[in-house]
């Protein structure tokens, strides 16, 4: 009788963990759409779409808080084993980064509204499109790695952050040149810079999600390590 009860509790606990994982992916889907809509609003001058991104932020926040509360309840009531506790801890870190991606999307949407009220340049803000596509790809792949608990994929996505940083720095130099060539463009270019900064930060948060995946699967904290050192830690190789 005790065995049956223990088995029931174990099955219920597993169901709760699976439910949380599903809700994290739902949150990821929401913020992924937020990023896409914010970029579309920026590139097309659609201020109404930008306002939708801003108004939708409450739903993202509510879901993040709900998952957070469920995780705390599990820790308090289930007294999970080390591996399950690691999973819950990794999820708590992951949803924080996802919520912050939503915040960065709101920032881009606000810049989109500002830019929609100004004369649009000939290139129509296409300078930002490549960076936007890059970080959207990083976020999509990071969420895919989370869904699969795929450490190798997480490592590959994390490596992309260097390319995003390099692209961001090149874009800033380009935008600085615009300002020096035409002082009438200063206000518009500053808004573009803030948008680029938000995109770069989204890449950072996607990178963080990958580090959390590595932690919850392997039990190894690779934060503050280079990708090369993280790979060695995961494979049990000595660090130089």
Phi and psi, residue 174, nearest 5°: -65, -45
Task: Say what angle helices 186-218 and 127-148 make with each other, to 10 degrees.
Answer: 10
> Average pLDDT of the chain?
90
State mean pLDDT over 56-61.
96
Write the CATH number for 55: 1.20.58.220
Q: How many angstroms separate the first and last alpha carbons of the chain?
A: 55
Listed ranges 71-75, 113-117, 201-205; the one with the highest mean pLDDT: 201-205
| In a domain? residue 177 | yes
Task: Give the structural domain span for 139.
Answer: 2-234
> How is 186-204 classified by DSSP, letter by letter?
HHHHHHHHHHHHHHHHHHH
**Residue 101 confidence class, pLDDT cut points 50, 70, 90:** very high
CB contact burial 57-67 (16+ within 10 A = b; e otherwise):
beebeebbeeb
As given in the structure block, the two tokens for residue 15 are 């169901």
> What is the pTM for the complete model shown?
0.90
Q: For residue 145, is pLDDT > 70?
A: yes
| In a domain? residue 91 | yes
| In a domain? residue 240 | no
pLDDT of residue 21: 93
Tell me which of 82 and 108 has the higher pLDDT. 108
pLDDT of residue 227: 82
Q: For residue 18, is pLDDT > 50?
A: yes
**Residue 1 confidence class, pLDDT cut points 50, 70, 90:** very low
- Number of structural domains (the chain) is 1
| In a domain? residue 239 | no
| In a domain? residue 186 | yes
pLDDT of residue 2: 40
**Residue 9 confidence class, pLDDT cut points 50, 70, 90:** low
pLDDT of residue 239: 73
């Amino acid at each position: 009788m005790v065995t049956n009860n223990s088995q029931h509790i174990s099955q219920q606990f597993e169901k709760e963990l699976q439910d949380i994982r599903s809700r994290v992916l739902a949150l990821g889907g929401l913020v992924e759409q937020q990023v896409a809509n914010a970029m579309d609003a920026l590139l097309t001058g659609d201020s109404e779409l930008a306002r939708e991104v801003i108004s939708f932020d409450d739903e993202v926040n509510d879901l993040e808080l709900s998952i957070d509360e469920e995780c705390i309840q599990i820790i308090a009531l289930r007294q999970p084993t080390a591996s399950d506790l690691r999973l819950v801890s990794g999820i708590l870190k992951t949803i924080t980064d996802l919520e912050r991606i939503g915040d960065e999307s709101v920032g881009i949407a606000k810049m989109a509204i500002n830019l929609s009220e100004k004369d649009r340049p000939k290139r129509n803000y296409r300078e930002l499109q490549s960076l936007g596509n890059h970080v959207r790809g990083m976020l999509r792949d990071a969420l895919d790695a989370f869904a699969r608990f795929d450490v190798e994929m997480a490592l590959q996505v994390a490596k992309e952050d260097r390319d995003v940083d390099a692209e961001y720095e090149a874009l800033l130099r380009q935008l600085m040149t615009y300002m020096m060539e035409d002082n009438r463009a200063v206000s518009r270019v500053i808004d573009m810079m803030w948008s680029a900064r938000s995109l770069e930060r989204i890449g950072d948060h996607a990178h963080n999600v990958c580090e959390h995946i590595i932690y919850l699967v392997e039990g190894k904290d690779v934060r503050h390590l280079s990708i090369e050192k993280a790979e060695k830690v995961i494979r049990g190789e000595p660090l130089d």
